[in-house]
Amino acid sequence: MTVQAVAAQVRIPGLPRLRWLWTAAGVVALLAAALLGVLVGPAHISPAAVLQALTGSSIDPGQATILWQLRLPRVVLGALVGGMLATAGAAYQGVFRNPLADPYLLGAAAGANLGATLAIAYGPGASGIGVNIVPIAAFAGAASAVGAAYVLGRTVTGLRSTTALILAGVAVATFFNAVQTFVQQSQTDTIRQVYTWILGRLVTAGWDGVFLVLPYIAISLVVIVLHRRLLDVLSVGDDEATSLGISARRIRLVVVIAATLGTAAAVAIAGTIAFVGIIVPHTVRLLTGRSYRVVIPLSIFFGGAFLVLADTAARTVVAPAELSIGVLTAFIGAPFFIAVMRSTRAAEL
């Protein structure tokens, strides 16, 4: 906590504080998105019935089943995954001082994809051993890819440590992608399942999926939020941080581990949903300024709200069929990202 205390006293000129107004806006956005997500769906349940159910009254049992076991867990999972990916993105951007960093920078997506592909192609079905091993394999894949990138990056000398890490991440991701593609191509019978998984999906085993990821995401978010001031210190440079008695390398390690843990849990259950980790923190930054004290907490709320909205669209636009949520986040994300880049010159992220 001493390091935190030092960081708390560091005054970096020009950094805004988190205003209550923005916090309130974030909470309202998340609640509004969640309410919309609960109200809208391919099965017609009247808003009155939904509100009745939410306030504890009993409604038609068929509708109650859909609401409580399918729709609500999906909304909650969307909020958790969205908040996690956005916050992990913000944390990575801070740690690497790179506006293009996202939660998958060090190979988390490639690792998760490989793990899931192997589990789908070669693993026994859920009924074979009683548990679905795809999320476990994806989690292990994501964690081992980032672990490999970190270890490799540290062995490189002659480059700035963040540069070495990013390059190691690129190499590991490329390698994992190659193996993943090879497995996918040689097991043509499972291509569509793998493809669906990669595009991301919030369809879960009801509340089980939520409870599965909740502990990891909660721990990850708490650790990142506690380090938000230190990320501001890092943003002025490793040497400056060292002069304050703060080990940049250690903070980087702790934040990367926390963000990876949460990201791995999120992708394990929802697939590698694209762009949330970039567009949400950048939007928050554009709106409120570049302090991580502001960006990190607000990313949780706005990331959750964004993914809940995207998922609501994913299950209603072509209802009763579904779109992959990754298609929607990227479809909105790519043009948005270009807009962010165009305005970057002025805003200087």
Contact residues for another protein (CB under 8 A)? 41-44, 61-63, 65-66, 69-71, 73, 121-128, 185, 187-196, 201, 203, 205-208, 315, 317-322
Please say which residue, 132 or 220, places its beta carbon nearer to another protein.
132
Distance from C-alpha of 199 to C-alpha of 233, rounded to nearest angstrom: 36
Closer Cβ to another protein, 66 or 286, answer by number: 66
Residue-by-residue DSSP string for 169-211: HHHHHHHHHHHHHHHHHH-GGGHHHHHHHHH-----STHHHHH
Sign of the C-alpha dihedral, residues 166, 170, 175, 177? positive
Q: How far is the CB of 305 from another protein (least distance, A)?
A: 21
> Least CB distance from residue 193 to another protein, whole Å?
6
- Smallest gap from Cβ 86 to another protein, in A, equals 25
- Quick one: CA torsion of 109, 110, 116, 117, rounded to 10 degrees? 150
Residue pair 55/64 in contact by the 8 Å Cβ criterion:
no
Q: Looking at beta carbons only, is 24 or 126 nearer to another protein?
A: 126
Residue in 146, 108, 143, 148 with CA at minimum distance from that of residue 273: 108
Quote the CA–CA distance of 36 and 336 in Å, as a whole number.
23
Q: How far is the CB of 315 from another protein (least distance, A)?
A: 5
CB of 113 to another protein, least distance (A): 16
Query: 134 or 233: whose CB is closer to another protein?
Result: 134
**CB nearer another protein, residue 60 or residue 250:** 60
CA distance 26 to 150: 33
- How far apart CA 225 and CA 234 sit, in angstroms, is 15
Which CB atom, from 199 or from 241, has the smaller least distance to another protein? 199
Q: Kindly state the smallest distance separating residue 98's Cβ from another protein, in Å.
A: 35
User: Cα 2–6–11 angle (5° rounding)?
Assistant: 160
Q: Of the two residues 94 and 200, which places its CB atom closer to another protein in the complex?
A: 200
- Among candidate residues 290, 310, 329, 325, the one with its CA nearest the CA of residue 12: 290
Give min distance, CB of 107 to another protein, in A: 25
